[in-house]
């Protein structure tokens, strides 16, 4: 049953990616062409030049993921347990903004966060904010944008996992004199962990690799590694360097997720499975 | 966004309020390229969602249920599909298509969208299917159900929320994709591509109008499906189960069923 | 993850590890290219959004005049991604699906020229270009003798500022470096645009600049960034920011400011200098209908054909005679349309004055090595390194 999906990924992900792996070890330039020289230095250079940018990307990705959990869990919980029969409708409504192009969404964000926009304008003119205060073009705006853009990737899996929980198990816990918090902590939360786990992967990974939010909402000090990869590829035409940076990023994310799964994820997944 | 669809702009830049007008609604399809881009986007998104949901559902189920050789490789593959930056996916696909002389267009966009959406559907379905009681399926087999029947009547209802959620994700991923599409699209333009390009010379109000309409149609569908569900519930009586592992019980399964059907039809 | 799995996955990669990426295509001889080529009655044209009337009036007129059917697609969003998209097929000698495209002069156009990706133009078939193109648009430094390109539209890079917030007159690039505008200055992220302004500040003509000049300019720009003057490095959306007051003054393109129609935002060509850039019509070397492409290029240089396009696009037209035609249209029109056309024909942003033109410089051309070095120096500033 895995075969069709696996073959698809093999044909359209692994095989083309192997071109890029090969490319990441080459030297040369666009005009004279690139030659395979097994130049591992591309990786070392990338990591040493952009170490700080890598760290910033992971940090922003992590912040966005945590914020996503904090926002998504209550929302998913409410839909799964309190929304009654209109669950699908609410899910659909939450997703609706994401059917509209990200360009329009981020532009809308710029409108909202603008210095003289509906949010900050009045606060600065009549309130506590100092004159130079701004949100737009700061790291804060980038993280907010990431959180907003990747929220559905957290809500949906958590909802799916919560939805599976039979309310009767919660009732049973209450009958056994578990308090509200205890019932949640001992029953609901562990059972929903596979969803959180899936959500973390689907949020943290693409958020760390994102470039749109930093580009549109960030300032001079907020560049993420996605922006660097994009510039190396499109502007400099340094295809090997861009490829090497991409695989370095993929490897770092792989290790991060592996560590995460080891420390809490897997146990949660396995226990919830029983 | 909605507001600026009504903006009576004179120049080409649309972000300063200049008065109310319905003109842009009347002239919605004036820009043939934009209209074509929107149609392309929607067609590709629907096709991609359909293919991805089928492939991803089976993969997710298999990964949740069975231990088999290559499982770890499959995990790694899925992870790669999520972790790989879009730009690398797009660039590598393009170089493969060029190497094999495949002309770029809507089919190659579709292939690419399915590729990067599969992992998301698989992971979502698996999160649902992990730990479902296999005994239910066995019981069905004991009662003489064939594999297809078991899937349709037992497994699918159990994992339906996961499948629906996965399908929604696949749709969102496809309809909003920019980077991979721009590489694999050749001469085909999708909505995000067009809108992005137009920022250089001024995004026309029609874009806002289209966004608004997508939004409005979505709300109507959601509300419509909710009303249908209500009627479904009145007919089936009220149930308290949540749909876990008791598919054909007490009207809950039926409710969920109608709910999803309703919104599929509507879209 | 076990080692075996990794090996299994990377096996396919090693198989392909031998292939390199093609560089230079074969350089094409002009005579050779055009022999045996004739009109096919078809043309596929790739352009930027917003570069043609909503109702495609200009294309329809061309189709009626020439009998050539045009497939027009707004597929070009930015030069970098566009080059990334056409590079692989062109290097492999495959069609990119278009016979005509519009590219901005700069690093990517230069690459296309050097890589042999463009068809050398047959000027025997471009009589109207010879007759009607303005002197500033013939034989440009980025394409001597118009060997591969003719201009479609041009624009100026200068400074836009919002008079609601800036209470002095802005005339100079040095004002972009003034600490009183801390956190209120927008710069462009494009390394050529950014570098040019750094050099103008130091009194260097970018077109004749050397490596040492780049370093000095980069030093100034880094100072400007580190002292917090720069609010953001913009790719495109500075117009929105300056008209709302998020930034008070910013590097800007003339056409954007013209189409803003805001009384508060003003555009100036700085006294140190500004750049003029050109979006150019060119034919990919793998075009299937190159003769039809030439026919369109030439047709657009007839002033009467070009005027309606300029009335819509609002950038600078390479056909100076268009100005009189627009003025005539304005005289014939009534009401709002009359005002719009009159404003257009008198606008220094669309028809720059002699004085402005004298201060304008072109982008520098780079060899491959220079381009790499130049970009390394200036991209580091944008990326915060």
User: pLDDT by residue (tens digit) across C78-92?
Assistant: 888 899 889 988 988
- Mutant choice from B83, B109, B183, B196 vs A, greatest count of A C-beta within 10 A: B83
Query: What would the two tokens of residue B156 be?
Result: 């699918």
Q: Regarding predicted confidence, which is higher, B258 or A260?
A: A260
pLDDT above 50 for C190: yes
Output the pLDDT for position C7: 41
pLDDT above 50 for B233: no
- Which regions of chain A are under pLDDT 50? 267-274
**Least Cα separation, residue B241 to chain A (angstroms):** 7
Quickly tell me which residue has 């070397």 as its tokens.
C285
Cα C228 to Cα C183: distance, rounded to the nearest angstrom: 6
**Listed ranges B135-144, B191-200, C312-321; the one with the highest mean pLDDT:** C312-321
Output the pLDDT for position A195: 87
Give the least confident one: A92-96, B245-249, C140-144.
B245-249
| CA closest to C236 among chain B residues | B200
Cα C301 to Cα C58: distance, rounded to the nearest angstrom: 12
Burial label, A65 (beta-carbon count in 10 A; 0-12, 13-18, 19+):
buried
Q: Which residue ranges form the domains of chain B, and what is each CATH number?
A: 35-230 (1.10.3720.10)
Output the pLDDT for position C24: 52
Count interface pairs B-C at CB distance under 8 A.
Answer: 106
Output the pLDDT for position C15: 41
Q: Regarding predicted confidence, which is higher, B119 or A124?
A: B119
Output the pLDDT for position B26: 67
SS3 of A50, please? Answer: coil
DSSP conformational letter for C316: B
Cα A43 to Cα B94: distance, rounded to the nearest angstrom: 23
Q: For C156, phi and psi rounded to 5 degrees?
A: -110, 140
Query: What would the two tokens of residue C200 be?
Result: 């103008």
Q: Which helix (H) or strand (E) holds C282?
A: strand C274-282
Q: In chain B, positions 104-133, which contact chain C (CB-CB < 8 Å)?
A: 104
Quickly tell me which residue has 């005539």 as its tokens.
C328
First to last CA, chain A: 23
pLDDT above 90 for B67: no
- C60 interfaces chain B, CB cutoff of 8 Å: no
| CA closest to B181 among chain C residues | C85
**Least Cα separation, residue A166 to chain C (angstroms):** 34
pLDDT mean over C327-351? 91
How many CB atoms lie under 10 A from the CB of residue A131? 8
Q: From C221, C242, C237, select the one nearest C176 (Cα to Cα).
A: C221
Inter-CA distances, C374 with A239, B234, C206, C363, Å: 17, 71, 12, 13
| Facing C19 at nearest CB: one of A17, A22, A215 | A22
Inter-CA distances, C294 with C29, C34, C46, Å: 17, 11, 14
Quickly tell me which residue has 């497939």 as its tokens.
C71
pLDDT above 80 for B208: no
DSSP conformational letter for C135: G
- Asked whether the beta carbons of residue A216 and residue C385 sit closer than 8 angstroms, the reply is no
Q: Regarding predicted confidence, which is higher, A10 or C128?
A: C128
Instruction: Name subunits touching A (3+ CB pairs < 8 A).
Output: B, C
| Facing C48 at nearest CB: one of B77, B186, B197 | B197
- Asked whether the beta carbons of residue A85 and residue B214 sit closer than 8 angstroms, the reply is no
Contact C345, C381 (CB under 8 A): no
Query: What would the two tokens of residue C70 be?
Result: 């045009």
Q: From C49, C84, A99, C83, select the one nearest B86 (Cα to Cα).
A: C84
Q: B124-147: buried (b, 16+ CB within 10 Å) or exposed (e) per residue?
A: bbbbbbbbbeeebbeebeeeebee
Query: What would the two tokens of residue C170 be?
Result: 């802005």
pLDDT above 80 for C4: no
| CA closest to A2 among chain B residues | B59
Cα A130 to Cα A119: distance, rounded to the nearest angstrom: 14
Output the pLDDT for position B200: 63
Alpha-helical segments (H) within chain A: 3-9, 15-23, 41-49, 51-82, 87-95, 102-113, 120-126, 139-163, 167-175, 180-183, 189-209, 212-217, 225-230, 239-260, 266-273
Output the pLDDT for position B8: 57
Q: Which helix (H) or strand (E) holds C162?
A: strand C149-162
Q: How confident is the model at residue B83 (pLDDT cuts 50, 70, 90)?
A: confident
Percent of chain C with pLDDT over 90: 65
Report the 3 state secondary structure along chain B: CCHHHHECCCCCCCCCCCCECCHHHHCCCCCHHHHHHHHHHHHHHHHHHHHHHHHHHHHHHHHHHCCCCCHHHHHHHHHHHHHCCHHHHHHHHHHHHHHCCCCCCHHHHHHHHHHHHHHHHHHHHHHHHCCCCHHHHHHHHHCCCCHHHHHHHHHHHHHHHHHHHHHHHHHHHHHHCCHHHHHHCCCCCCHHHHHHHHCCCCCCHHHHHHHHHHHHHHHHHHHHHHHHHHHHHHHHCCCCCCCCCCCCCCCHHHHHHHHHHHHHHHC
SS3 of C317, please? Answer: coil
- A269 interfaces chain B, CB cutoff of 8 Å: yes
Query: What would the two tokens of residue C267 be?
Result: 């555009």
Output the pLDDT for position B192: 86
Q: How confident is the model at residue B245 (pLDDT cuts 50, 70, 90)?
A: very low
Per the document, the length of chain C is 385
Give the least confident one: A188-192, A233-237, B10-14, B251-255.
B251-255
Could you tell me which residues come within 8 angstroms of residue B35 by beta carbon, excluding any fewer than 6 positions away? Answer: B28, B29
Output the pLDDT for position A127: 66
Give the least confident one: B132-141, B225-234, B246-255, C6-15.
B246-255
Q: C316-342: buried (b, 16+ CB within 10 Å) or exposed (e) per residue?
A: bbbbbbbbebbeebbeeeeeeeeebbb
Alpha-helical segments (H) within chain C: 3-16, 30-34, 57-66, 79-91, 107-114, 127-132, 191-201, 211-226, 238-244, 254-260, 290-300, 303-313, 322-332, 335-346, 354-359, 368-382
DSSP conformational letter for A235: I
Contact B90, B179 (CB under 8 A): yes
Inter-CA distances, C101 with B21, C55, C96, Å: 36, 20, 10
Inter-CA distances, A11 with A5, B97, B114, Å: 10, 11, 12
Quickly tell me which residue has 């492999």 as its tokens.
C92
Question: Which of chain A's residues have a Cβ under 8 Å away from the Cβ of B176?
Answer: 98-99, 101-102
Q: How confident is the model at residue C146 (pLDDT cuts 50, 70, 90)?
A: very high
pLDDT mean over C172-182? 95
- Asked whether the beta carbons of residue B221 and residue A92 sit closer than 8 angstroms, the reply is yes
To the nearest whole number, what is the mean pLDDT of chain C? Answer: 89
Cα A166 to Cα A127: distance, rounded to the nearest angstrom: 48
Inter-CA distances, A226 with A19, A212, B2, C256, Å: 20, 8, 30, 28
pLDDT above 60 for B264: no
Q: How far is CA A175 from the centre of its chain?
A: 39
Question: Which of chain C's residues have a Cβ under 8 Å away from the Cβ of A35?
Answer: 20
Inter-CA distances, C4 with A14, A18, C8, Å: 16, 17, 6
pLDDT mean over B87-114? 89
Output the pLDDT for position A155: 92
Cα B194 to Cα C72: distance, rounded to the nearest angstrom: 13
- Mutant choice from C70, C74, C238, C315 vs B, greatest count of B C-beta within 10 A: C74
Q: How confident is the model at residue B5 (pLDDT cuts 50, 70, 90)?
A: low
Cα B112 to Cα B84: distance, rounded to the nearest angstrom: 13
pLDDT above 90 for C28: no
Q: Which helix (H) or strand (E) holds A115?
A: none
Query: What would the two tokens of residue A36 be?
Result: 């395979």
């Amino acid at each position: 049953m895995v075969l069709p999906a696996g073959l698809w990924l093999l044909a359209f992900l692994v095989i083309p990616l192997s071109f890029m792996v090969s490319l990441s070890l080459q030297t040369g330039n666009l005009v004279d062409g690139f030659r395979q020289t097994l130049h591992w230095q591309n990786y070392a250079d990338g990591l040493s030049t952009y170490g700080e940018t890598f760290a910033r990307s992971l940090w922003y990705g992590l912040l966005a993921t945590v914020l996503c959990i904090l926002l998504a869990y209550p929302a998913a919980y409410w839909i799964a347990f309190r929304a009654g029969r209109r669950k699908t409708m609410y899910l659909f409504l939450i997703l609706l903004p994401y059917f509209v192009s990200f360009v329009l969404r981020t532009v809308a964000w710029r409108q909202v966060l603008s210095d003289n926009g509906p949010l900050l304008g009045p606060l600065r003119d009549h309130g506590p904010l100092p004159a130079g205060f701004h949100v737009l073009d700061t790291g804060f705006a980038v993280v907010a944008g990431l959180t907003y853009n990747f929220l559905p990737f957290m809500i949906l899996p958590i909802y799916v996992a919560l939805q599976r929980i039979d309310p009767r198990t919660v009732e049973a816990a209450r009958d056994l004199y578990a308090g509200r918090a205890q019932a949640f902590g001992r029953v609901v939360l562990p059972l929903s962990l596979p969803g959180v786990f899936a959500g973390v992967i689907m949020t943290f990974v693409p958020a760390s690799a994102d470039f749109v939010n930093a580009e549109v909402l960030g300032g001079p000090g907020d560049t993420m590694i996605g922006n660097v990869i994009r510039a190396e590829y499109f502007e400099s035409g340094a295809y090997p360097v861009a490829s090497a940076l991409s695989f370095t990023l993929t490897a770092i994310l792989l290790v991060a997720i592996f560590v995460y799964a080891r420390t809490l994820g897997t146990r949660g997944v396995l226990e919830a499975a029983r | 966004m909605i507001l600026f669809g009504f903006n009576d702009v004179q120049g080409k830049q649309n972000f300063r309020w200049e008065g109310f007008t319905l003109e842009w609604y009347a002239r919605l399809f004036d820009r043939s390229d934009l209209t074509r881009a929107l149609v392309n986007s929607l067609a590709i998104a629907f096709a991609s969602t359909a293919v991805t949901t089928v492939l991803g559902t089976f993969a997710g189920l298999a990964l949740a249920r069975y231990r088999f050789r290559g499982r770890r490789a499959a995990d790694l593959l899925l992870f790669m599909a999520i972790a790989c930056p879009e730009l690398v996916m797009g660039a590598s696909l393009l170089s493969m298509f060029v190497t094999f002389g495949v002309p770029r267009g809507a089919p190659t966009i579709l292939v690419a969208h399915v590729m990067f959406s599969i992992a998301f559907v698989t992971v979502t379905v698996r999160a649902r299917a992990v730990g479902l009681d296999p005994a239910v399926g066995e019981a069905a087999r004991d009662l003489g159900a064939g594999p297809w029947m078991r899937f349709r009547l037992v497994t699918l209802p159990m994992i339906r929320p996961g499948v629906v959620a996965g399908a929604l994700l696949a749709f969102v991923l496809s309809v909003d994709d920019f980077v991979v599409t721009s590489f694999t699209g050749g001469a085909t333009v999708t909505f995000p591509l067009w809108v992005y390009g137009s920022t250089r010379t001024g995004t026309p109000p029609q874009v806002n109008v289209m966004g608004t309409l997508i939004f409005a149609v979505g709300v109507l569908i959601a509300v419509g499906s909710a009303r249908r569900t209500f009627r479904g519930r009145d007919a089936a009586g009220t149930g308290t189960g949540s749909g876990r592992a008791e598919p054909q019980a007490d009207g809950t399964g039926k409710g969920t069923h109608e709910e999803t059907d309703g919104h599929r039809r509507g879209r | 993850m076990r080692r075996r799995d990794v090996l299994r996955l990377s096996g396919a990669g090693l198989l392909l590890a031998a292939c390199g990426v093609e560089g230079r295509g074969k350089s094409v001889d002009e005579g050779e290219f055009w022999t045996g080529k004739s009109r096919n009655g078809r043309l596929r044209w790739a352009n930027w959004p917003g570069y043609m009337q909503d109702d495609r009036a200009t294309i329809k007129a061309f189709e009626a005049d020439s009998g050539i059917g045009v497939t027009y697609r707004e597929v070009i969003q930015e030069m970098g991604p566009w080059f990334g998209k056409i590079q692989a097929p062109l290097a492999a000698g495959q069609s990119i699906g278009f016979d005509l495209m519009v590219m901005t002069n700069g690093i990517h156009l230069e690459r296309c020229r050097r890589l042999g990706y463009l068809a050398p133009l047959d000027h025997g078939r471009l009589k109207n270009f010879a007759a009607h193109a303005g002197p500033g648009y013939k034989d440009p430094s980025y394409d001597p003798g118009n060997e591969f390109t003719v201009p479609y539209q041009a624009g100026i890079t200068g400074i836009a500022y919002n008079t609601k917030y800036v209470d002095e007159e802005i005339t100079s690039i040095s004002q972009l470096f003034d600490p009183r505008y801390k956190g209120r200055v927008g710069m462009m992220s494009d390394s050529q645009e950014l570098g040019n302004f750094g050099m103008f500040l130091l009194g260097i003509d970018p077109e004749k600049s050397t490596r040492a000049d780049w370093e000095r300019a980069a030093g100034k720009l880094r100072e400007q960034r580190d002292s917090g003057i720069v609010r953001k490095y913009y790719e495109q959306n500075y117009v929105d920011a300056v008209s709302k007051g998020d930034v008070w003054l910013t590097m800007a393109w003339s056409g954007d400011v013209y189409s803003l129609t805001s009384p508060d935002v003003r555009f100036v060509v700085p006294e140190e200098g500004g750049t003029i850039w050109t979006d150019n019509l060119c034919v990919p070397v793998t075009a299937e209908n190159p003769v039809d492409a030439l026919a369109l290029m030439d047709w657009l240089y007839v002033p009467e054909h070009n005027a309606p396009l300029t009335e819509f696009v609002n950038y600078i037209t390479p056909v100076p005679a268009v100005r009189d035609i627009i003025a005539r249209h304005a005289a014939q029109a009534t009401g709002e349309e009359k005002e719009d056309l009159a404003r257009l024909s008198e606008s220094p942003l669309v028809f720059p004055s002699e004085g402005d033109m004298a201060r304008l410089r072109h982008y520098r051309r780079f060899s491959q090595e220079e381009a790499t070095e130049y970009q390394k120096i200036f991209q580091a500033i944008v990326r915060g390194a």
